[in-house]
């Protein structure tokens, strides 16, 4: 259960970082910064992979 919550948090954070990096969420030092867009995209991909593994192992049912 904890892994699922963590993967959800990472997914949301990564999406926010990506959107700030590409300038869709302005108002931060991260706005319009390709570095944060890349970091956000990587975090989203890792969180999605983590969720896929949890689903495939049945960890969501525990």
Q: Does 8 fall in a domain?
A: yes
Cα dihedral sign, 44-48-50-54: positive
- How many separate domains does the chain show? 1
Residue 62 lies inside a defined structural domain of this protein: no
Per-residue pLDDT band for 57 (boundaries 50, 70, 90) equals: confident
Q: Which two tokens stand for residue 62?
A: 């525990």
- State how far Cα 58 lies from the chain centre: 21
Share of the chain above pLDDT 70, in %: 94
In a domain, 53, yes or no: yes
Is residue 16 a part of any domain in this protein? Answer: yes
Q: Model-level pTM?
A: 0.84
Residue 51 belongs to what domain range? Answer: 2-57
Query: Cα–Cα distance between 16 and 11 in angstroms, integer?
Result: 9
Give the single-character DSSP code of 27. S
């Amino acid at each position: 259960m904890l892994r699922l919550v963590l993967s959800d948090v990472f997914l949301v954070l990564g999406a926010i970082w990506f959107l700030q990096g590409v300038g869709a969420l302005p108002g931060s030092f991260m706005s319009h910064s390709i570095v944060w867009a890349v970091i956000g995209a990587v975090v989203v991909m890792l969180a999605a992979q983590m969720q896929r593994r949890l689903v495939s192992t049945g960890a969501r049912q525990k």
